Amino acid sequence: MMKNPKHDRQEPYLYFISDLQDARAIASHYYKRWKVECCFKNLKTNGFNIEDINLQSDEKIELMMAVLAMLYLIAVREGILRHLCKPIPLKKYKDGSKQMAISFFRLGCYIVQNLFKDIQGFLKYFNRIISFFFDPLHLHL
């Protein structure tokens, strides 16, 4: 159990169940897990709607998960890069807290949708990324 860092009156404490004894280690593990949960939320209901794809074969499911994981990383990357150029505005809540008005993923998802309108756009983007990794001096950027 630890105090809620968001100072939420309705939930003043966070409760964690673990076989570990160190509260900081437990919180650290949950923090890492929360990032994965955010990824799954974006894959399932907040962007890619993977549950709408009715794949039956294990091989097809694995391939689709790999493709979506790659696209998820591309969307987050593009969102972060855009945020570095033009910061995402903050949204202020009644309790005084502030959060970004849109997530890196959601911003990147909009960008990727515009970049990948057709296969040529995807291939051009992918070629630029691949050449970045294979050009030691990154001269293409």
Identify the domain containing residue 113 by its residue range. Answer: 54-141
- For the stretch 69-126, pLDDT in tens is 888 888 999 999 999 999 999 999 888 888 899 999 999 999 988 888 888 888 888 8
Task: Identify the pLDDT of residue 138.
Answer: 55
Q: Is 1 within a domain?
A: yes
Q: Are strands 13-14 and 90-92 parallel, antiparallel or unpaired?
A: unpaired
Q: Are residues 73 and 37 in the same domain?
A: no
* 132 and 70 in a common domain: yes
What residues contact residue 92 under an 8 Å CB cut-off, 6+ apart? 98
Which comes out higher in pLDDT, residue 29 or 101?
A: 101
pLDDT of residue 135: 67
Q: Is there a domain that residue 31 lies in?
A: yes
Report the C-alpha gap between 128 and 120 in whole angstroms: 12
Q: Supply the angle between the helices 58-85 and 23-44 in degrees, to the nearest 10.
A: 100
Contact assessment for residue 91 and residue 100, using Cβ atoms and an 8 Å cutoff: yes
Instruction: State the total domains in the chain.
Output: 2
Its sign, for the CA torsion 124, 127, 129, 132, is negative
Asked, for residue 49, whether it belongs to a domain, the answer is: no
**Same domain flag for 58 and 35:** no
The C-alpha atoms of residue 42 and residue 62 are separated, in whole angstroms, by 17
33 and 88 co-located in one domain? no
pTM for the structure as a whole: 0.64
For residues 73 and 98, membership in a common domain is answered with yes
117 in a structural domain: yes
Q: Which of 3-7, 25-29, 54-58 has the lowest mean pLDDT?
A: 3-7
Same domain membership, residue 37 and residue 86? no
CA 103 to mean position of chain CA atoms: 8
Residues 62 and 39 grouped into a single domain: no
In a domain, 85, yes or no: yes
Claim to verify: residue 81 and residue 12 sit in the same structural domain: no
State the pLDDT confidence band at 8, using cuts at 50, 70 and 90: confident
